[in-house]
Amino acid sequence: MPLVRIDLLKGKESAYRAAIGEVVYDAMRTTLDVPENDRFQIITEHGATDLILDRTYLGISRTDDCIVIQVTLNEGRDLAKKKAFYKAVADGLHERLKLRREDVFISLVEVKKENWSFGNGEAQYAPQ
């Protein structure tokens, strides 16, 4: 059950923001083995002073279109799956929205399965 947080500067249309979420979800399904309907996303717009991204860290040139995608997910996926996910998201956003691959910043946060509650005050994935 990934929880996806997508942060970007204010000013993009709702269809643009929705497309980002769709690309990320599709990439999770194809590369990270995320089940159908397992889609939980929070898309947040920020003012220019509230989203601070270094323009040249690691020699990568970033613009005002840079988006941050943070995915919290169960631990255990191997490096090949993670790399495939990064590429699928960057390629998908470039193809669908013409977003520069350099402007796609992704962070994965892995957690143990017992760290989720989907409702009812229960830990549905925790060992019984």
Cα distance between residue 73 and residue 3, in whole Å: 7
Q: Is residue 122 part of a domain?
A: no
Q: Is residue 39 part of a domain?
A: yes
Number of structural domains (the chain) is: 1
Handedness of CA 106, 19, 16, 101 (dihedral sign): positive
Q: Is residue 127 part of a domain?
A: no
Enter the pTM of the model. Answer: 0.93
Q: Render pLDDT for 64-87 as a digit per residue (tens, 0 to 9).
A: 999 999 999 999 999 999 999 999
2 an active-site residue?
yes
Region 23-50: mean pLDDT is 96
b/e map 42-77, b = 16+ CB within 10 Å = ebeeeeeeebeeeeeeeeeebeebbbbbebbbbeeb
- Kindly indicate the confidence band of residue 8, based on its pLDDT and cuts at 50, 70 and 90: very high
Q: Is residue 38 part of a domain?
A: yes
Q: Is residue 124 part of a domain?
A: no
Q: Considering 1, 2, 42, 102, which one is annotated as catalytic? A: 2
- Kindly indicate the confidence band of residue 116, based on its pLDDT and cuts at 50, 70 and 90: confident
